Amino acid sequence: MQESVMYLHGMVFLLGAAHTLRVNGHVRVDIFYRSFSPKKQAKVDLFGSLLLLMPVNIFIFMVSFDYVMRAWRVMETSQEAGGIPGVYLLKSLILLFSFTMLLQGIAEVIRNVVKLSLDKPLSKAENQ
Amino acid sequence: MEYISLLMFLAVCLVLLLGYPVAYSLAGTALIFAGVGAFFGVFDTSYLQAVPSRLFGIVSNQTLIAVPLFVFMGVMLEKSRVAEDLLLAMEQVLGRLKSGLAVSVVLVGMLLAASTGIVGATVVTMGLLSLPTMLKKGYSPSFACGAICATGTLGQIIPPSIALVLLGDVLSSAFVQAQLNMGIFSPRSVSVGDLFVGALVPGFLLVGMYLLYVLVFASRHITPSLEQSDQAPISVSALFAALFPPLLLIFMVLGSILAGFATPTEAAGVGATGALVLAIINKQLNLQKLKDVMMSTAKVTSMVFLILIGASIFSLVFRGFGGEELIQELFTRLPGGVFTAVLLVMVVIFLLGFILDFIEITFVVVPLVAPVLLAMGVDPIWLGIMIAVNLQTSFLTPPFGFALFYLRGVAPPEVKTSHIYRGVIPFIVIQLILLACLAIWPNLVTWLPYLL
């Protein structure tokens, strides 16, 4: 019961992060970004996704893979008495997190490439 | 080689300014540095092996579970119009006084801070409801905007506040680390609850200073309008109906923490449930609204925790490059010892507040400097509250002050952005005065927590 809260909590942000990226809900320092033209914003997002987001998630996936597999091998259970015997599942969320983020990152790359390849200037509304 | 860590810090600041989401700017830049460093053999990649257990540590951290719960509580209260009822009732009671509107804004801001603690929601609500009335009554736009923005940020310091939960978590691990470094192997601990208690006196002091300022200077900023007050006096029962629900919620959440019945996380659960019940009683809850509240809770929570993930990767790499030793060395070499060290940190946090907001500063800067300061003998609760008050200004300092954005979003077009910027200056000064007072009389913070 105690630990179910932790499982729910972990799911909220590890699985919600990719959706938040999709709806542009992650904080930016937008002093300059705000005044960029839509094309320039698309460039920042394209290169940010390629150089920052995708490497980080590939890295998190790779470095966590063994860690999670170790938990699976022993079917790791909670250290608390009466805890949920599913710590390996909880840890798997880390892989799922980096995987969904990577997918959304690829989607962002495609979206921004399309934006940049359009000839006509973009309006602010289309840029969302 | 330690200087690479400083170089990395500067590089991160530059990348941040481009505007890509903060979490990935932090983690991505750090990884690039780590990669290049490992290639040239100046970075030990074993530091990065700690990443998965750090991530799992974030998931299984009991204290941080309070964050989504408090967010849920705040968003729910916002959507169930508790704030609106409160504001309208207070305005009717105090509206007859000359500075009554401004006083009611400060008082409602305090109550909202103690119940929801979400800066954006408070500023938007007051900006939509109070600002037009204040302008109509002849308040100067800058004065009205300043009062609304500043009281909106009270949620930062008045417990229960999400900022204090995050700070408390960072500080408690910093405190343990500092003691272990000093060779104390049964370290004392500091909890989020301690910070909540410590924030009470400074929080009310700040409200008092705001009220004083508003009462003294309001007359200068109000041009008397010809318009007669046409409001009917409010009935006692209507005032009670507006005041009772938030007061009850504050009493349950804060009371259970202060009395030692509940940890802040448990109290946050109480608050979230309470907000849900209030919404049902007010007949404001339907399935669609519940869905909206849960969606925005998930988004805000993801945003906060993704920054935490990004910041923890950044700080691992920073440590890998020997950045911690560098900071430690810098602080011990400073003339004037602890005082100049704290002063330096405060100035840096204040300046960073112009471009970053509290979450990033809490997760990136505080873990780097807090262990060193605490090892120098600084009281952890006092340091936490000093940082919290200081971070409150980051909401008000242009160009990247959240409270200013939120108000700009809802303010009528005749209010210029320069009005908002000018209006908050006196309130920033008040916050800095409070900071100075807390520095001179640390007992203002530490007296209550050590009494309980």
Mean pLDDT of B380-389: 93
pLDDT over 70 for what percent of chain B? Answer: 95
Per-residue pLDDT tens over the stretch A93-103 = 999 999 999 99
CA atoms within 13 A on the CB side of B234: 20
List of chain B residues whose C-beta atoms are within 8 Å of the C-beta of residue A13: 68, 298, 301-302, 304-306
Which range scores top for mean pLDDT: A30-44, B29-43, B357-371, B389-403?
Answer: B29-43
Q: Which residues contact B97 (CB under 8 A, 6 or more apart)?
A: B103
User: How far A24 CA sits from the closest chain B CA (Å)?
Assistant: 9
Nearest-by-CA chain B residue for A50: B28
Q: How confident is the model at residue A28 (pLDDT cuts 50, 70, 90)?
A: confident
> What is the reported pLDDT for A122?
58
Per-residue pLDDT tens over the stretch B99-119 = 778 888 888 888 888 876 677
Instruction: Assess contact for A69 and B44: CB atoms under 8 A.
Output: no
Report CA-CA distances (Å) from B442 to A77, B209, B439. Answer: 46, 18, 6
Q: Give the ipTM.
A: 0.90
User: How far B67 CA sits from the closest chain A CA (Å)?
Assistant: 10
Mean pLDDT of B264-285: 88
Q: Which residues contact B341 (CB under 8 A, 6 or more apart)?
A: B331, B334, B372, B373, B376
User: How far B338 CA sits from the closest chain A CA (Å)?
Assistant: 32
User: Which is more confident, A28 or B10?
Assistant: B10
Q: How confident is the model at residue B123 (pLDDT cuts 50, 70, 90)?
A: confident
Mean pLDDT of B194-199: 90
Per-residue pLDDT tens over the stretch B406-452 = 788 788 888 888 888 889 999 999 999 999 999 999 888 888 888 76
Verify whether the Cβ–Cβ distance A5 to B65 is below 8 Å. Answer: yes
> What is the reported pLDDT for B261?
85
Average model confidence (pLDDT) across chain B: 85
List of chain B residues whose C-beta atoms are within 8 Å of the C-beta of residue A55: 28, 31-32
> What is the reported pLDDT for B225?
57
List of chain B residues whose C-beta atoms are within 8 Å of the C-beta of residue A17: 302, 305-306
List of chain B residues whose C-beta atoms are within 8 Å of the C-beta of residue A44: 18-20
Q: For residue B303, give the nearest of A26, A29, A63 by CB distance.
A: A26
pLDDT over 70 for what percent of chain A? Answer: 91
Strand partners for B222: B139
Per-residue pLDDT tens over the stretch B7-32 = 998 898 899 889 899 899 999 999 99
Nearest partner of B328 among B346, B345, B316, judged by Cα = B345
> What is the reported pLDDT for A111?
93
Q: Is the pLDDT of residue B299 over 80?
A: yes
Q: For residue B21, give the nearest of A14, A27, A63 by CB distance.
A: A27
Q: Is the pLDDT of residue B315 over 90?
A: no
d(CA A16, CA A9): 11
pLDDT over 90 for what percent of chain B? Answer: 23
Q: How confident is the model at residue B232 (pLDDT cuts 50, 70, 90)?
A: low
d(CA B379, CA B381): 6
Mean pLDDT of B347-358: 83
Q: Is the pLDDT of residue A125 over 60?
A: no
List of chain A residues whose C-beta atoms are within 8 Å of the C-beta of residue B360: 27
Average model confidence (pLDDT) across chain A: 86
Q: For residue B19, give the nearest of A44, A63, A68 by CB distance.
A: A44
Mean pLDDT of A102-121: 88
List of chain A residues whose C-beta atoms are within 8 Å of the C-beta of residue B306: 13, 17, 20, 26
Q: For residue B17, give the nearest of A16, A17, A31 by CB distance.
A: A31
> What is the reported pLDDT for A99?
95
User: How far A91 CA sits from the closest chain B CA (Å)?
Assistant: 7
> What is the reported pLDDT for B434?
94
Q: Is the pLDDT of residue B1 over 70?
A: no
d(CA B401, CA B406): 9
d(CA B395, CA B410): 16
Q: Is the pLDDT of residue A31 over 80?
A: no
Which three-class secondary structure state does DSSP give residue A79?
A: coil
Q: What is the pTM of this model?
A: 0.84
> What is the reported pLDDT for B190?
86
Tokens 């508003």 label which residue?
A: B214
User: How far B362 CA sits from the closest chain A CA (Å)?
Assistant: 15
Q: Is the pLDDT of residue B286 over 60?
A: yes
Tokens 């932790």 label which residue?
A: A6
> What is the reported pLDDT for B224?
61
Q: How confident is the model at residue A123 (pLDDT cuts 50, 70, 90)?
A: low
> What is the reported pLDDT for B112?
83
Which range scores top for mean pLDDT: B140-144, B238-242, B404-408?
Answer: B140-144
Q: How confident is the model at residue A128 (pLDDT cuts 50, 70, 90)?
A: very low
B80-84, B94-98, B173-177, range with the lowest pLDDT: B94-98
> What is the reported pLDDT for B256?
86
Nearest-by-CA chain A residue for B314: A56
Q: Is the pLDDT of residue B210 over 90?
A: yes
List of chain B residues whose C-beta atoms are within 8 Å of the C-beta of residue A21: 21
User: How far A70 CA sits from the closest chain B CA (Å)?
Assistant: 12
Instruction: Assess contact for B430 and B213: CB atoms under 8 A.
Output: yes
> What is the reported pLDDT for B25?
92
Q: Is the pLDDT of residue B207 over 80?
A: yes
Q: How confident is the model at residue B319 (pLDDT cuts 50, 70, 90)?
A: confident
Which range scores top for mean pLDDT: A108-112, B219-223, B266-270?
Answer: A108-112
List of chain B residues whose C-beta atoms are within 8 Å of the C-beta of residue A28: 19-22
Q: Which residues contact B57 (CB under 8 A, 6 or more apart)?
A: none
- How many beta-carbon pairs under 8 angstroms link A with B? 147
Q: How confident is the model at residue A3 (pLDDT cuts 50, 70, 90)?
A: confident
Strand partners for B139: B222
Nearest-by-CA chain B residue for A67: B52
Nearest-by-CA chain A residue for B46: A63
d(CA B100, CA B125): 18
